[in-house]
Amino acid sequence: MMPPPLPSADNIAKAARLIDPVFTGSPLMTHHSADDALGLCLFAKVETLNPIRSFKGRGADYWMARQPASSGAVVAASAGNFGQGLAYAGVKRGRPVVIFAAKNANRRKIDAMRRLGATVILEGNDFDGAKAAARAYAATQDLPFVEDGAGPEIAEGAGTIALEMTETLNQRGIALDAALVPLGNGALLTGMGAWLKAAAPACRVIGVVAAAAPAMKLSFDHARLETTATAATIADGIAVREPVPYALDCMRQVVDEVLAVDDPSLEAAMTFCRDHYGLIVEPAGAAGIAALLERGKLLAGRTVGTVLCGSNVASA
Amino acid sequence: MMPPPLPSADNIAKAARLIDPVFTGSPLMTHHSADDALGLCLFAKVETLNPIRSFKGRGADYWMARQPASSGAVVAASAGNFGQGLAYAGVKRGRPVVIFAAKNANRRKIDAMRRLGATVILEGNDFDGAKAAARAYAATQDLPFVEDGAGPEIAEGAGTIALEMTETLNQRGIALDAALVPLGNGALLTGMGAWLKAAAPACRVIGVVAAAAPAMKLSFDHARLETTATAATIADGIAVREPVPYALDCMRQVVDEVLAVDDPSLEAAMTFCRDHYGLIVEPAGAAGIAALLERGKLLAGRTVGTVLCGSNVASA
């Protein structure tokens, strides 16, 4: 089988026109108090104010828009945000959506997926366990299994975030020196990286993992697939033990560096978002800010972009 | 002297093209969990994600855009948000901005005004005391005094919020049954009302005051100017003791009803915004939600709009 093509800037531009507008056109927040605290100029794309409170609607809606018309069910695994996106996109098109989530998944995310119309099955002890169960179920039932991070469409949908950032900043005559992007399965980072390398090649593309779930960083740094035994971080949205090989292939083309941040930095980043932007952001969604809190001095005085990519905290 | 003209829909459309885009195009948030909790369909315009974290940039920027070019200073009074808007608009055009605020004004708002470049003078025991001092200072120094709520431009700038709401909802085939708008000096309510009465005449336009600062409601209900001795509410952004006569004239044309909400309802509304939308909203900014928490049953099943108009809480 041919490997799937890499995410392309052309398809990202196409996705920007196809994705349901409830998910696009998000604010690009900047605030003088945040910039003063960090010692740099930060533009934060706020992906928390849509009907699923995360960026995942972009990729899920674009993926589904690119499928042949069908009323058949689709199966996926999710920590909770991708499942909400797929449920939203499915309901709109009359396609049942079956989501496998880990037995210990974030309850609010599970409730939200069900409320949006998904059938949610709890199986496995973590995200990767749920994914194995989803894959097996889809094979048994002969249903399509969609794996977040494993093909270009979902990354291309997420890449529209970078397209909107560069459009807005170009209008103001501003260029990004670096983009700090939370890294879980890789769809957000590789989609944004594909756009930035084409449209803003001087921008350094940096992924951020939780130090307690470092599989993607280890795999990127060592240029080989590495899994970890656990992924015990508060950042459930990026708690990956088993990297998606396709995402790693893409990362090699468009990512310059991967940083790891501690859980206390993720907590400090959540507080930072609340104080300076008035936003509740989930731990994974604040990973870019956490990296700036740990290592921002390296970017002192620079113009930096990040994505506050989700706000489905376990409890508010 | 002729009374100033009422805010007009034509000028609101003009303002939508003139206002600095950092203030426009804000998200229109909707979330199933919020709707389930309220028993109606709520669209909340999120005005907290711009460089001053409130809607006041729209009116301030449009007001300044309509003034004759000048490098002279302007004087105003502010509880803190309008002053930030004016400071932002002034710095952009090289015009010094002098803001009078009450001695007990919200410290974070004072800091933010100064950080944005305004000269802030603390005088008076409340907003209306600061306003009297500002007016006297402007007269002594022979500088223009701009009074928020007292002329059409600032209301027309704020009216662009309603223009964006109806544009977005029309695209989705949705019509508003009612709009619940925080009511302080009246610029937001009358600007939005002017647009809604022209573009969505079936939409009921409802202002919301803090019960502990009821001067605007009393004046509207009794059709005569009424002041109160105190305005002791946590909602500093709408703590008005002395109504602006022009705003009351406008309200008679475009407002259907004014509700009053208790401070505990404002606190509950802030919690609601945090839990359901992931947003920190200041008390005045959550007044529309507070009214729904107190009286939402009257609008059960309806489609309702509101504005989360500021997030400059005294402490986060």
Q: Does B50 touch chain A (CB under 8 A)?
A: yes
Residue A219 clears pLDDT 70, i.e. is over it: yes
Q: In Å, how far is B280's CA from the nearest CA of chain A?
A: 5
Residue B45 backbone dihedrals phi, psi, to 5 degrees? -80, 120
Q: Does B112 touch chain A (CB under 8 A)?
A: yes
Confidence of residue A315 (pLDDT cuts 50, 70, 90): low
Least confident residue range of A12-16, A23-27, A103-107: A103-107
Q: Does B281 touch chain A (CB under 8 A)?
A: yes
Which one of A32, A47, A84, A106 makes the best mutation probe of the B interface by having the most chain B beta carbons within 10 Å?
A32
Decide if A49 and B32 are in contact by the 8 Å CB cutoff. no
pLDDT digit string, tens, across residues B231-281? 999 998 899 999 999 999 999 999 999 999 999 999 999 999 999 999 999
Q: What is the mean pLDDT of residues A240-268?
A: 96
Q: Does B155 touch chain A (CB under 8 A)?
A: no
pLDDT at B315: 62
Q: In Å, how far is B33's CA from the nearest CA of chain A?
A: 8
pLDDT at A136: 97
Task: Spell out the residues 6+ positions from residue A193 whose beta carbon is closer than 8 angstroms to its own.
Answer: A162, A181, A205, A250, A251, A253, A254, A255
Q: Does B234 touch chain A (CB under 8 A)?
A: no
pLDDT at B316: 45
pLDDT digit string, tens, across residues B66-93? 999 888 999 999 999 999 999 999 999 9
Q: How far is CA A223 from the centre of its chain?
A: 21
pLDDT at B136: 97
pLDDT digit string, tens, across residues A58-69? 999 999 999 998
- In this structure, are strands B178-182 and B145-146 parallel, antiparallel, or unpaired? unpaired
pLDDT at A293: 97
3-class DSSP assignment, residue A11: helix
CATH for the A56-146 domain, from 3.40.50.150, 2.140.10.10, 3.40.50.1100, 3.40.50.970: 3.40.50.1100
CATH for the B9-54+152-308 domain, from 3.40.50.1100, 3.40.640.10, 3.40.5.90, 3.20.20.80: 3.40.50.1100
Look at the pTM and tell me if it is higher than 0.80: yes
pLDDT digit string, tens, across residues A129-183? 999 999 999 999 999 999 998 999 999 999 999 999 999 999 999 999 999 999 9
Q: What is the mean pLDDT of residues B202-227?
A: 97
- Beta bridge pairs of residue A279: B279
pLDDT digit string, tens, across residues A83-95? 999 999 999 999 9
Structure tokens, B210:
């803090």
Structure tokens, A177:
């020196």
Q: Does A278 touch chain B (CB under 8 A)?
A: yes
Confidence of residue B38 (pLDDT cuts 50, 70, 90): very high
Cα separation, A46 vs A26, in Å, equals 6
Decide if B31 and A51 are in contact by the 8 Å CB cutoff. yes
Percent of chain A predicted with pLDDT > 70: 99
Element (H, E) at B152: helix B152-171
B278 chain-A contacts, CB cut-off 8 A? 48-49, 53, 279-281, 311, 313, 316
pLDDT at B69: 86
Q: Does A29 touch chain B (CB under 8 A)?
A: yes
Q: Establish whether domains A9-54+152-308 and A56-146 are of one fold.
A: yes
Query: In 3D, which of A216, A285, A306 has the Cα closest to residue A53?
Result: A285
Percent of chain B predicted with pLDDT > 90: 91
Q: Does B92 touch chain A (CB under 8 A)?
A: no
Domain boundaries, chain B: 9-54+152-308, 56-146
- In this structure, are strands A28-29 and A41-46 parallel, antiparallel, or unpaired? antiparallel
Q: What value does the mean pLDDT of chain A take?
A: 95
Q: In Å, how far is A250's CA from the nearest CA of chain B?
A: 32
